[in-house]
Amino acid sequence: MEEQSQLAQYLPVLMLGVLAVAFSFGMLVVSVIVGKKGKRSPIKDTAYECGMLPIGEGGGRFSVKFYLVAMLFILFDIEVVFLYPWAVVYREMLKQNGGLILGAMLSFLGILFVGYIYAVKKRAFDWKS
């Protein structure tokens, strides 16, 4: 088989994507067509809260902790992505300049870890209080 271009490799992914989208939305549409048609009623239209009448809007205020987790996630996730290129070239680089590649990543992880310790000390991951 001849060498495929980088982009051509993604053709199957695209085909699978089309199938996945068609399947998911197809299911939804079919269920609307063949499903039972019922009557609406005010009670049926209320939000489900185990039979109690709902008080106030759905989805009100929620803990600020969730925002904090989201921000920390973005920071750490980017750092995880940075680790992958390093991991891939690591063994090759060890043959040429082992100390450099190890030291570079150790210092990166060190700085990352200081930030992590700071977040722990600031009780960012403490959900009990």
Partner 1 sequence: MAQALTNWFQAPGAQFALFSALKILCVFSVLMFIVAYAVWVERKVSAAIQDRRGPNRVGIFGFLQPAADAVKAFLKEDFTPAHVRKAYYWLAPAIVMIPSLLTVAIIPFGSQLGHQKMVIADLNVGILYTFGIVSLGVYGIVLAGYASNSKYPFLGGIRSSAQMISYEIAMGMSVVPLFLLAGRLNLGAVIAYQAGGWLDWFIFKQPLAFVIFLAAMFAETNRLPFDLPEAEQELAGGYNVEYSSMKFALFFMGEYASMAVSAGMLVTLFLGGWTLPFAGLDQPAQTIAAGLLHIAIFLGKMLFVVFMVIWVRWMWPRFRYDQLMDLGWRRFIPLALANIVITAVFLWWKA
Using CB under 8 A as the binding rule, the residues of this chain from 12 to 41 that contact partner 1 are 12-13, 15-17, 19-21, 23-25, 27-28, 30-32, 34-38, 40
Query: How far is 94 from 97, CA to CA, in rounded Å?
Result: 5
5 binds partner 1 (CB under 8 A): no
121 binds partner 1 (CB under 8 A): no
Using CB under 8 A as the binding rule, the residues of this chain from 63 to 92 that contact partner 1 are 65-66, 69-70, 72-73, 76-77, 80-81, 83-84, 87-88, 90-92
The type of residue at 4 is Q
10 binds partner 1 (CB under 8 A): yes
Rounded to 5°, angle at Cα 62 from 60 and 64: 145
For the chain, helix, strand, coil in percent to 5 are 65, 0, 35
Look at the chain and count its residues: 129
H/E run at residue 82? helix 65-121
60 binds partner 1 (CB under 8 A): yes
What is the nearest approach in angstroms of partner 1 to the Cβ of residue 46? Answer: 7
